[in-house]
Amino acid sequence: MVFDFTETETQRLVVKSVKDWCERNLTFERVREMDDKGHPFPKEIVEGLCGLRVVMGTVPAEHGGSGIDWLTQGMIAEVIGYYDPTIATAAGLMAVETGWGFTLDRYCNETVREKYIKPAIRGEKFVGIATTEPGGGSDVAAFKSTAKKDGNEWIINGEKTFISGTEECKKWGGGYWINVRTGPIQPGAPHRNMTSFFLPIDAEGVEVQEPYRDAGRMAISTGGFKMKDVRLPDEYKLGEEGKGFYYTMEGFDNARMMIAASCVGIIQRIIDEAVPYITERKTFGRPLAKYEAIQFELAELYREMEALKLMTRKTTWMQDIRYKEEGMPQKISKAKTFKPTDVAGWISMIKWKGPSLALEAARKAMIWFGAAGYTKEYILESAWRGVMSYVVGAEGGLNIQKIVVARELLGRDYVPYK
Amino acid sequence: MNEFKSVWVFSENRDLMLEMLCKGRELADKLQTELAVILLGCKIKDQAEILIKYGADKVYVVDDPKFEKLQTEPYLSALTNLATRYRPEIILIGSTKRGKELAARLTTRLETGLVSDAFKLEIDENKRLIATRIVYSGNGVATETYQTKPQVATVQPRTFEKPKLMERKGQVVEVNVTLEEPKTEVIEIKPVEVKKVRIEDARIIVSGGRGVEKKEDFKMLEDLATLLGGYVGNTRPLAEDRKWFSEWVGLSGKKVKPDLYVACGLSGVIQHIAGMRDSKVIVAINKDQEAPIFQVADYIVVDDIYQIVPALTEALRKMLKS
Amino acid sequence: MPRIIVCLKQAVDVNHIKVDPTTRRLITADAPKKISDFDKNALEEAVRIKEKLQGEVVALTVSAEDAKTTLREALAMGADKAYLVTDPSFQDSDALITSHILAQAVKKIGSFDLILCGEATIDSYSAQVGPRLAERLGIPVITYVRKLSLEGNHVIAERSLEDRFEVAKARMPALITVIKEINEPRIPSLPDILKASKKEFVTWSLDELGVSKEKVGITGSSVQILEVLAPKGERKQIKIEGENPHEIAENLAKALIQKGFARR
């Protein structure tokens, strides 16, 4: 039996532990308070989940992680999305720290690992991703930040913006994965000459900007920083010079899986909140659930959620196979079962489907609830505001995912940006 | 071997013993057998006669200083000895924590069945005891019976009414039993930590739910409660979400069974109902005529608590004066 | 170094029980199962003792075969070894029988210093199995314990009774039943769970314990459950009406006074 959807005992127990923890610590009241109060993200939530060792769980045990697979990590993200449907916790701890942190661990050297990654796994520090620049996010040709070699050091200049967790990083210590140019833009191949570094937030010349006033997922900050003649030793370079684009795509892949998985949880939560409401609440003498206009939408939502869940679990499973075959560090030539682009296509599909479906679920449920759904008495409005951040752009906007999927179907000749 | 007969009652708690005596009388009459009280204690002989007036036909007395410390083993050996000697058909034991442990151990020694915390006891057509109890934290009511004798059940305080004193005759039997030494040693006794009024002990509770808009508005509930000689209670959201109170009535909070429960502006979610369903009389006041609380209520008022509660207090005050 | 046996029951999660609306029968089959709450406190206490004094914690369950994941959770919480006694024939056994099976299992496990149980289980809440097991093994029992410590060959336990707290001392081996207040059970971490999958897990059938199949289940039990129904509200459902709130209030007040309330 190749296709087996049974959860293993370990998966069941891990999911139960995270659920039990969230039942105690990520209650409705707590999440609402976090969303009302805004950033910085509560440290005890980070420490608690890191104490269960489920943040960056996929990092190998010898690097301080738990060495679990992405399939299981995805199930953990589902639970976290369920309990914090504002998506703040999943955004900070699953997408950014786990998705990007894991990838960072693959390409960083021992110094960065000891000083930053291991403490982040323990919940002491924060590691994040800073790719987007004022000139653009998905459009890598627009990147302007640069690094110039000076002896054994690099001198970095530029600016990053719409970065998750800048306030938390500043407060707890830590740093960011940044991408900069280490050579001129090559016509037709703007992704070349891009190199990745790890930038400690407290490095001299880093100036953290005031955070944005976001519409949702208020518990975690979004900000930016300027880098002015920041000197980084060569050991803060990630992987090989000029390969930053590929590492970044891998990081995006992992982060996007986490977002899709947490959206599964969010939609499940919305359904679980809605069912008692629409069965108890009556209009014109009948429970709301008796109206086809509502029950059909509920049924459709459930179908779509299950589809998303299956797609997400298949995608994480594919990624696990890919990592297993390609070894550490990734050697693309060794891939057997799936081409990396196969997996990227699936990841784009779930990143496209997840947040937009969660947004749709929140929107629909708010309409079923009527005015009550628009209030903070229910989680719906906070989910609606929160997941919107992943529809508009975080971890790659909606339309960029469509381009990736179409590219797989039509070939590179039809990409709109060429 | 002798046939099993007679109904026995035992509790180290006197009130509870009397309550069970009342139920025991009913069962003994149905079975046309005698009702006996097992009276165990130190210098208690003089309490035996009155138990006959409360309905017992017989009082077995074991008077021994070993009972003084309330440790299980002396009680256990006395009851085992008596039950083996006189073979009762039914034994009711008071469901205090001590009583529960005692009953479980006694029935193990007697190799027989025990139903814990029965709230209803009946005799079926085969003269078997049918005991009913709450299971699944209030989600179920189990009806159980026995395949062995004696048929033993524990009974919680305030489950049955106390009997009335009557002029009747009976027999006091003093028994000598060799009592076992306790297997544990009590090295310290501490008083129960002082708490404010325990809502579980309140005879009347006026309870508020989300329909009470501001904490100050609890004043009108308090006024009513004070007039009735009761206390105020509240639902979980008022404690956990609004942080007005530190405890609440409900499945996850306090389980209460007062004589009167006045539910004001609370819808009656299942978790709340599980905590107050056993109240003797339930009054529900709620604007929403569909509120589930009405399904468990004896008196239903579909109206605004802000109108009704002060008016009720006023009306009661007037009627009590006249 | 104490050897502690913790008896765990796999109980139905009472919050997920549904009711058949026509028969009022409870539908417990699809409700999720878990380690009964207070038994988890017992396990936590055992693990804490082990962390202080070393020794060994053994988890013991008499249950249907699906209790494996539940017992694995006990291993993840810190038990060193798990024993599952499982046999289709003992379904619906009462506490008299369950304590007998447990006693046989305890004897087969071998020497021990302490047995810890929860005060009662969340589904049946009868509080019988702990004291019954102690009686069968002929060891001292201290029930309703909220504080526990070991001193040499003795266990010292603070019992929470209705009227007082009692600090009791007993020679080991002894059995203790604990209440919720004693601790907050830990939530196992991912590495704890991964480690648990490598711990020893023993499954016994009734034959292996020398317990006869005729003496268990419904036939062997002393107490027989006739039916379990959802409680029905036998309430009067009298609607108090009136022209205006004052009249309604007066009518309600009359009813209450008639019932004997509001008399000083």
Query: Scanning every residue of chain B, which has its alpha carbon at the shortest distance from the alpha carbon of C218?
Result: B147
Q: At residue A294, does pLDDT exceed 80?
A: yes
Report residue B59's pLDDT band, with 50, 70 and 90 as the boundaries.
very high
pLDDT digits (tens, 9 = 90+) for A347-367: 999 999 999 999 999 999 999
Average pLDDT of chain B? 91
Same domain membership, residue B138 and residue B275: no
- Tell whether the model's pLDDT for residue B92 goes beyond 90: yes
Taking CB atoms within 8 Å and a gap of at least 24, the contacts of A59-63 are A59/A101, A59/A102, A59/A105, A59/A117, A59/A121, A60/A105, A60/A328, A61/C191, A63/A105, A63/A113, A63/A117, A63/A118
User: Which of A29, A283, A375 should one mutate to test binding to chain B, selecting the residue with the greatest count of B CBs within 10 A?
Assistant: A29
* Short-list A75, A78, A40, A89, CA closest to A382: A89
Domain chopping of chain A, boundaries = 9-126, 128-238, 244-414
Q: Are residues B238 and B141 in the same domain?
A: no
Segment C178-198 shows an average pLDDT of 95
Q: How is B158-197 classified by DSSP, letter by letter?
A: TSSPPPPP-----EEEE---PPPPPSEEEEEEEEPPP-S-
Pairing of β B7-10 and β B35-41: parallel
Determine the pLDDT at residue A2. Answer: 65
Handedness of CA A392, A395, A396, A398 (dihedral sign): negative
pLDDT tens digits for range B37-48:
999 999 999 999
Choose, out of A8, A10, A13, A58, the residue to mutate when testing the contact with C (most C CBs < 10 Å).
Answer: A13
Does one domain contain both B160 and B13?
Answer: yes
Which chains reach chain B with 3 or more Cβ–Cβ distances below 8 angstroms? A, C
| Interchain CB distance below 8 Å, C17 and B116 | no
CB contact under 8 A, A52 and C189: yes
Interface partners of chain A (CB pairs < 8 Å, 3 or more) are B, C
Q: Judge whether residue A214 has pLDDT over 70.
A: yes
Whole-number Cα distances in Å, B142 to B250, C24, C125, C126, C230: 21, 12, 12, 12, 9
- CB A285, CB A275: distance < 8 Å: no
Min Cα distance A12 → chain C (Å) is 8
Hey, what's the torsion of the CAs at C111, C116, C120, C124, to 10 degrees?
Answer: -40
CA dist A29 and A379 (Å) reads 10
Supply the pLDDT for residue B137: 77
Cβ contact, residue pair A29, B290, below 8 Å: no
Q: Which residues of B touch A288 (CB under 8 A)?
A: none
Those residues with Cβ within 8 angstroms of residue A280's Cβ, 6 or more apart along the chain or in another chain: A287
Distance set, CA C263 to CA B127, B230, B232, C32 (Å) = 42, 12, 18, 48
Instruction: Say yes or no: B282 and B147 in one domain.
Output: no
Q: Which residue from C68, C69, C187 is facing A52, i.e. has the nearest CB?
A: C187
Q: Does B210 touch chain A (CB under 8 A)?
A: no
Within a domain: B193: no
Nearest-CA neighbor of A244 among A152, A339, A143, A316? A143
User: Which tokens go with C37?
Assistant: 């709450």
Contact B245, B235 (CB under 8 A): no
Identify the residue with better confidence: B7 or A345.
B7
C32 is written with which tokens?
A: 């999720």
Is position B192 within any domain? Answer: no
Q: Is residue B184 part of a domain?
A: no
Tell me how close the Cα of A67 comes to any Cα of chain C, in angstroms.
9
* Cross-strand partners of C158: C147, C167
Give me the residues of C, 186-215, that contact A with CB < 8 A. 187-191, 193-194, 196-197
Looking at the structure, tell me whether residues B139 and B279 fall in a common domain.
no
Q: Is residue B191 part of a domain?
A: no
Phi-psi region at A205: left, alpha or beta (left = phi > 0; alpha = psi -120 to 50): left
Task: Using alpha carbons, select from B29, B30, B46, B33 the residue that is nearest to residue B2.
Answer: B33
Q: In the A/B pair of chains, how many CB contacts fall below 8 A?
A: 3
Q: What average pLDDT does chain A have?
A: 92
Mean pLDDT of chain C: 92
pLDDT above 50 (res B169): yes
Span A153-179, pLDDT tens digits: 999 999 999 999 999 999 999 999 999
Q: What is the pLDDT of residue B1?
A: 46
Strands C33-35 and C56-62 come out as unpaired
Q: Which of A182, A186, A211 is nearest to A195 (CA)?
A: A182
CB contact under 8 A, B100 and C143: yes
B183 in any annotated domain: no
Alpha carbon distance B95, B75 (integer Å): 14
* Nearest CB neighbour to A17, from listed C68, C188, C197: C188
C-facing residues of B in 80-109 (CB < 8 A) are 96-98, 100-101, 103-105, 107-109
* Closest chain C residue to A57, measured at CA: C190
Q: Are C99 and B108 in contact (CB under 8 A)?
A: yes
Contact A282 B240 (CB under 8 A): no
The arrangement of secondary structure in C3-220, i.e. its CATH architecture, is 3-Layer(aba) Sandwich (3.40)
Could you tell me where the DSSP H helices lie in A200-339? Answer: 244-280, 292-326
For residue C169, the chain B residue with the least C-alpha distance is B185
Look at A211-215, A295-299, A378-382, B253-257 and tell me which has the smallest mean pLDDT: B253-257
Residue A327: pLDDT over 90? no
Instruction: State the nearest Cα–Cα gap between C84 and chain B, in angstroms.
Output: 23
Please give the class, per CATH, of domain A9-126. mainly alpha
Q: pLDDT digits over C17-70, tens only?
A: 888 888 889 888 888 999 999 999 999 999 999 999 999 999 999 998 889 989
User: If contacts are CB pairs under 8 Å, which of residues 55-74 in chain A contact chain C?
Assistant: 57, 61, 66, 68
Question: CATH no. for residue B40?
Answer: 3.40.50.620
Same-domain pairing of B168 and B209? no
Other chains touching C, judged by 3 or more CB pairs under 8 Å:
A, B
Predicted pLDDT of residue A315: 96
Q: What is the mean pLDDT of residues A12-23?
A: 96
Chain A environment of C76 (Cβ under 8 Å): 13, 17
* pTM greater than 0.90 (yes/no): no
d(CA C22, CA C29): 17
Q: Any idea which fold A244-414 has?
A: Butyryl-CoA Dehydrogenase, subunit A; domain 3 (1.20.140)
* A282 in reach of chain B (CB within 8 A): yes
Q: Is the pLDDT of residue A1 over 70?
A: no
Question: Do B156 and B73 share a domain, yes or no?
Answer: yes
Nearest CA in chain C to B155: C126
Question: Does any CB of chain A come closer than 8 Å to the CB of residue C40?
Answer: no
pLDDT in tens, B141-161: 999 999 999 999 999 887 788
Q: Is C218 on the interface with A (CB under 8 A)?
A: no
* pLDDT for residue B195: 53
Same structural domain, B135 and B11: yes
Residues facing residue B10 across a β-bridge: B93
Domain that holds residue B215: 199-321
Closest chain A C-alpha to B241 CA, distance in angstroms: 6
Please write the tens of the pLDDT for every residue from A110-136.
999 999 999 999 999 999 999 999 877
- Tell me how long chain A is: 418
If one counts the domains in chain B, the total is 2
- Could you tell me the pLDDT band of residue C264, with boundaries at 50, 70 and 90? very low
Pick the CATH number of A128-238 from 2.40.110.10, 3.40.50.720, 1.10.10.10, 3.40.50.300: 2.40.110.10
Q: Are B234 and B249 in contact (CB under 8 A)?
A: yes
Q: Which of B109, B141, B303 sits opposite C248 (nearest CB)?
A: B303
* Residue ranges per structural domain of chain C: 3-220, 233-264
For the residues of A98-129, what is the DSSP string, one character each? IIIHHHHHHHS-HHHIIIIIHHHHTTSSEEEE
Confidence grade of residue B162 (pLDDT, cut at 50, 70, 90): confident
pLDDT at B89 over 90: yes
* % of chain B exceeding 70 in pLDDT: 97
- Residues of chain A contacting C73 with CB distance shorter than 8 Å: 13, 16
Q: Give the helix/strand (H/E) hosting C197.
A: none
Q: Give the number of other CB atoms < 10 A from CB of residue A143.
A: 24
Count contacts between B and C (CB, < 8 Å): 243
Same domain, B143 and B205: no
